[in-house]
Structure 1
Amino acid sequence: MDCIFCKIAQGSIPSNKIFENDKVVAFYDIQPAAPVHALIIPRKHIESMNDVQEEDWEDIAEIHRVAQKLAKDLGVAETGYRLVNNCGKDSGQVVFHFHFHLLGGSKLGPANSQE
């Protein structure tokens, strides 16, 4: 499989990881859209939210647990943060491996940008 996020999860492509366990990997985005911009991915390759299967829900719940932990660890839990999942081309999904963006560290603009 030629998925950049799978390669990051496997450790074959370097990244600035900030969390990993047997289900989830989190790392800083290389093109941050906010002062704090982390990506949280399941280790298992799932293309998008549309492809989540019954057996994947435990991993999806773990992503949210990790997001809550990282928000605290990165100092944005109290001031506020955004947790974003883009699903499909029209949403802006570029890497087709299910993931969430954790964004914070400043006052964020509108959630529905047309850029």
Structure 2
Amino acid sequence: MNDCLFCKIIKQEIPSYKIFENDYIYAFLDINPVSDGHTLVIPKVHAENLSTTPDLYLSEVNKAKKIVAQILQEKIEGIKGFNYISNQEAIAKQVVFHYHEHILPKFKEDEGFLHDKNVNLKYASLEDVFNEITK
């Protein structure tokens, strides 16, 4: 889809902080993170939501979520758990209509959820988080 933000990121028409990529998925840091390491995992095929995504890509997204969580756990100190979230349709707060999964590292129990900002971000910028993950 020509106007899709995530399709443009996949094609590298828009820059991103890529964490992981294979033939089926692309994973990158969210530009509005709820927590340090907040990552999006998206299929490389345009599908509006989980219900319309081909099964092969759904399977690959799930495999990639596991890989990305392991990368984040190894590279960012203090992660104690994760939320895995996907919203479907505007009523459920889906903003970009290209299926995607959020991986939200959790550092303490009272941290925010998807649309609640975490006020305790350790890193000053996405670049700082990216540098920590890729060093």
SS in structure 1 of the partner of residue 38 of structure 2: strand
Please, what is the CA RMSD of the aligned residues? 2.1
Deviations 1:86-108 (A, max 9, x none): 00001110000000000014235
Task: Return the offset for 1:79.
Answer: 2.2
Look up the match of 2:130.
none
Task: Return the offset for 1:110.
Answer: 7.0
In structure 2, do the counterparts of structure 1 residues 65 and 113 end up closer, same or farther at CA, with 3 Å as the change threshold? same
State the distance in 1 between where 2:65 and 2:21 align: 12
State the distance in 2 between where 1:112 and 1:35 align: 13
CA contact (8 A) 2:83 2:106 kept: no
CA contact (8 A) 2:46 2:98 kept: yes
Look up the match of 2:63.
65
Look up the match of 2:33.
32
Task: Return the offset for 1:112.
Answer: 8.6
Q: Supply the AA of the counterpart residue of 2:43.
A: P
State the distance in 1 between where 2:38 and 2:68 align: 11
> Where do 4+ consecutive residues of structure 1 move more than 2 Å?
107-114
SS in structure 2 of the partner of residue 74 of structure 1: helix
Look up the match of 1:19.
20
Task: Return the offset for 1:33.
Answer: 0.7
Gaps of 5+ in 1: none
Q: Supply the AA of the counterpart residue of 2:73.
A: G
Task: Return the offset for 1:22.
Answer: 1.1
In structure 2, do the counterparts of structure 1 residues 70 and 112 end up closer, same or farther at CA, with 3 Å as the change threshold? closer
Which residues in structure 2 correspond to 1:75-90 (within 5 Å)?
Answer: 75=73, 79-90=80-91
Q: Supply the AA of the counterpart residue of 2:86.
A: N
Task: Return the offset for 1:34.
Answer: 1.1
SS in structure 2 of the partner of residue 68 of structure 1: helix
Report % sequence identity: 36
Look up the match of 1:74.
72
SS in structure 1 of the partner of residue 84 of structure 2: strand
Query: What TM-score, normalized to structure 2?
Result: 0.74
State the distance in 1 between where 2:115 and 2:9 align: 28
CA contact (8 A) 1:39 1:102 kept: yes
State the distance in 1 between where 2:3 and 2:82 align: 31
Report the count of equivalent residues.
Answer: 110
